[in-house]
Amino acid sequence: MSTAAQTAPRATSDADAGKTGGRSRLSPSRRAKYAATAFGAVFAVGWTLPLLWVLIGSFNAERLTSGAGFVPSDPSGANWSKLVQPDGRAVNVFVAFFNSSVVAVAATLLALVVCSMMAYALARLPFRGSALILSLIVLAMLIPTEVILVPLFQQFAALGLLNTYGALIIPHVVSLFGVVLLRQFIVNLPVELTEAAKIDGANAWQNYRYIVLPLIRPGLATLGILVFLAAWNDFLWPLIATSTPSMQTLPLALITFRSAYGDSEYGVVMASTILAITPPLLVFLFAQRFIVAGISNTGLKG
C-alpha cells in the first residue's frame, strides 16, 4: 500500500508535467500558420506604405522633389480642387471618371448576361458542333488583343461608333474566358436539378433563370469583378477608339495630368491616382471572397 501510494503522486505529477509541456510547445502546423500570418502582415504593410504615401502626398501643396517630408507641413485640398478645374492644362478628371464608370458598369452587366447565356448553351443545350465551338473559343483565348486592334478599329469606324460609349463597351461584352469559366460552373452542377425542372414543365429559359443562375453566383461574381477591372483599367483601346476629351476614360486622363502637372505639382498627379484606384480597390475588397470561391470551384470536370 505504501509503495502504491508513493507511486501514484509521482505518476500524476509526470502526467501534469507532460500536459504543461504540451501546452507550451506549438505543433508544426500551428508554427507554420503563425509564420504565414506574420509574413502576410509584413507583406500587407509593405504594400500599403506606398499607397499611404500617395494618399498623404495628394494633400501636400509642396513639390515632393524639393525636400517635402512624408507628412505635409501645411495640408491643403488644392490638389483635389485642380481635378475639377485643371487650369486648361488637362481634361476634367471627374468627366473621365464618369466615362470610366459608365463603361465599366455597363460592360460588366452585359458581359454577365451574354457570357452566362453562351455558357449555358454550351453546357446544357447540346447541339451539333458545340464541342468544336468550345475548342475554337479556347484557341481564340491564345490570340493577343493587340493583334485584332486594327480590324476592330476598322469595324467600329465603318459602323460610325468611334468616340461613343458603344465603342468602349462592346469589346468587353463577350469575354471568352468568362464563357469558359461559367461553363465549368454549369457543367459541375448536378444534372438532376435541371432534369427535375423539365419534368415539372420548365423550359430552357426557366431552367437558366431560376435553376442555373442562382447556383453559379460565385462564378458570376468572379467574372463581374474581372470584367470590371479590365474595363476600368483599359488604356490601349480607349486611346485608339476616342479622340475627343469629352469621351476620354480615366487612364487617358491620368496621362494628361502626368504631362501637365508631373514636373511641377506631384500632389495633383497623386490625387488623380487615388481617385483612379479607389473604385476597383473597393470592388475587390468587397467581393474578394467570391474570387477565391469561384476559382476553387471551377474544376476540370466535363
Per-residue pLDDT band at 300 (split at 50, 70, 90): very low
DSSP string for 234-258? --HHHHHH--SGGG--HHHHHHHHH
Instruction: Pull the grid cell for residue 63.
Output: 513639390
Per-residue pLDDT band at 17 (split at 50, 70, 90): very low
CB 288: neighbour CB atoms within 10 A?
12
pLDDT value of residue 176: 92
* Per CATH, domain 87-297 is 1.10.1500.10: no
Q: What is the mean pLDDT of residues 200-216?
A: 89
pTM score of the predicted model: 0.77
Instruction: Pull the grid cell for residue 152.
Output: 476592330
Q: Model confidence over 81-132: pLDDT tens digits?
A: 777 776 666 677 888 899 999 999 999 999 999 999 999 999 988 888 888 9
Give the CA distances from residue 149 to residues 146, 223, 283, 286, in Å, rounded to whole numbers and listed in that order: 5, 23, 28, 33
The two counts, helices (H) then strands (E), for the chain are 15, 0
Q: Model confidence over 154-196: pLDDT tens digits?
A: 999 999 999 999 999 999 998 999 999 999 989 988 888 888 8
Examine the pLDDT at 43 and tell me if it is beyond 80: yes
Higher pLDDT, 26 or 295: 26
Q: What is the mean pLDDT of residues 226-254?
A: 90
Rounded distance, CA 214 to CA 216, Å? 6
pLDDT value of residue 299: 46
Examine the pLDDT at 217 and tell me if it is beyond 50: yes
Sign of the alpha-carbon dihedral angle for 65, 66, 70, 71? negative
Instruction: Pull the grid cell for residue 185.
Output: 460552373
Give the CA distances from residue 279 to residues 67, 233, 239, in Å, rounded to whole numbers and listed in that order: 32, 11, 21
